[in-house]
Amino acid sequence: MAVSLFRLRKHSGFDGEHVHIRSTSSSLLKSSHSSSSSHSRRHQGSSFCEIAEEIPGNVSRRQRRRQRSADASSQQKHPVQLVATSVVESQAPPNFFQIVLQGAVAGATAGVVVETVLYPIDTIKTRLQVARSGGGIVFKGLYSGLSGNLAGVLPASAIFVGVYEPLKRKLLGIFPDHLSSVAHLAAGAAGGLTASLVRVPTEVVKQRMQTGQFASAHGAVRQIVGAEGVRGLYAGFGSFLLRDLPFDAIQFCIYEQLRIVCRKLVKRDLVDAETAIIGAASGAVTGAVTTPLDVIKTRLMTQGAHGRYKGIGDCVSKIIQEEGAGALLKGVGPRVLWIGIGGSIFFAVLERTKQVLADQSSPKDSLTQAKFV
């Protein structure tokens, strides 16, 4: 048996120490020629390491090597898995211009949809309020003046929500949580005041067409300005503000507060049906409470250049004297129905449009949270 003798020099804290190793090479001769060189290198390398580990000073190294082998074996049996547990979507807060634009588009969309669907009910309500004691109403031409009214509703609704949304967010950052209703009241009143610059002329033309005074919106504007001046388009401006400022403030405050309560109860965002129910409730309550103000506003706006009422006080006094206090609630049924249904449609369309616009304009970054199991 041929025996080969070689020397291993180990550099692991034993510089200069020589270890003489005697090994046989007979097993190498039996291996095939194709794998002899690679197998020999692996065999020699492992032999060198095993012999080096037998050196007394290398016990700790040998233990670490065995520990690594044990860890590798454990990982093969129980591989580490990276499991995604949740996805968190981070979204940058919208800027002021974006809030105004989204609010304006959403408000215009909601306003046009509501006005188109419920215009006949509004026409009946107006004719009931204008009719004197014992007078009947006409059920023809219930869509009279719709096109002209939409031309005013679209910008008015856009202005209202475009002012309401950013102001509401600003005030909510100032007032504490328990005074959030104050922020909603103030934002609603401010939105209504700004939108009244467009709403009042639109309302004047609409109601005079609904009562049969004019056949077209263009003709109505031309004749009103010709007979009464530009001020004629703002007839009843004071009574309009007397009705609409509290109406807008109360309706939006009730809606926002109900929305906050419902979201806390269900512990999630509201679906469209729930938003519609809340909008209907807020609209119906507000419509009933503000009906007397609406009667006064309608009488002043439809009286024309030679009207019989000199102002808000004179209007209230004459209505009560001539028709009784109950006349201040004329049209309350159609008004509550109209505003209740309108509130459900308006707020459902408003919130859905705002969400769609926010999703399209704000790219989201998905951050995946993971854990080892």
- pLDDT tens profile 128-150: 877 765 556 677 788 877 887 88
Based on the fold, state whether residues 102 and 64 are members of the same structural domain: no
317-332: pLDDT as tens digits: 999 999 999 999 998 9
Among 283, 202, 188, residue whose Cα is nearest residue 245: 188
Domain extent at residue 40: 3-79
Residue ending a domain, among 24, 48, 79, is 79
Same domain, 160 and 285: yes
For residues 156 and 106, membership in a common domain is answered with yes
Would you say residue 278 has pLDDT above 70?
A: yes
Does residue 207 lie within any of the structural domains? yes
Inform me whether the pLDDT recorded for 15 exceeds 60. no
Which pLDDT value is given to residue 243?
A: 83
Look up the CATH number of the domain holding residue 129: 1.50.40.10
Same domain, 57 and 158: no
Q: Are residues 63 and 109 in the same domain?
A: no
Q: Is the pLDDT of residue 31 over 50?
A: no
Is a pLDDT exceeding 90 seen at residue 157? Answer: yes
Domain-ending residue, one of 52, 79, 106: 79
> Would you state the pLDDT for residue 68?
66
57 and 190 fall within a common domain: no
Confidence of residue 174 (pLDDT cuts 50, 70, 90): very high
Give the CA distances from residue 6 to residues 24, 57, 269, in Å, rounded to whole numbers and listed in that order: 11, 21, 79
Long-range contacts (CB closer than 8 Å, 24 or more residues apart) made by 168-173: 168/256, 169/99
Q: Looking at 8-22, 46-60, 86-100, 211-225, which range is the least confident one?
A: 8-22
% of the chain with per-residue pLDDT over 90 = 39
Q: Are residues 98 and 71 in the same domain?
A: no
pLDDT at site 5: 38
Please check whether residues 107 and 172 belong to one and the same domain: yes
Residues 252 and 324 in one domain: yes
- Flag whether 282 is in a domain: yes
* pLDDT value for 60: 55
Would the pLDDT of 100 be above 50? yes
pLDDT at 1 over 80: no
What length is written for the chain?
A: 373
Question: How many independent structural domains does the chain possess?
Answer: 2
The most confident of 65-69, 214-218, 353-357, by mean pLDDT: 353-357
Helix (H, G, I), strand (E, B) or coil at 213: coil
Residue 6 vs residue 41, higher pLDDT = 41
| CA 159/CA 183 separation, integer angstroms | 18
Domain identity same for 72 and 217: no
Residue 152: closest CA among 184, 197, 210, 189: 197
Residue 20 lies in a domain: yes
Highest mean pLDDT among 185-189, 203-207, 235-239, 357-361: 185-189
**225: pLDDT strictly greater than 70:** yes
Residue 84 lies in a domain: no
Q: Does 85 reside within a domain? A: no
Residue 19 counted as domain residue: yes
- What angle is formed at CA 162 by the lines to CA 161 and CA 163, rounded to 5 degrees? 90
Exposed e or buried b per residue across 257-270, where buried means at least 16 C-beta atoms within 10 angstroms of its C-beta: ebbeeeeeeeeeeb
**Domain identity same for 169 and 24:** no
Residue among 247, 140, 252, 268 nearest 203 (CA): 247
Nearest residue to 145 via CA among 58, 93, 204, 82: 204
Domain boundary among 79, 106, 128: 79
User: Higher pLDDT residue, 41 or 355?
Assistant: 355
What pLDDT, on the 0 to 100 scale, is given for residue 66? 67
On whether residue 87 sits in a domain, the answer given is no
Mean pLDDT of 282-287: 94
Answer yes or no: do 74 and 108 share one domain. no
At residue 346, does pLDDT exceed 90? yes
Asked whether the beta carbons of 287 and 339 are under 8 A apart, the reply is yes
In a domain, 86, yes or no: no
Give pLDDT, residue 25: 39
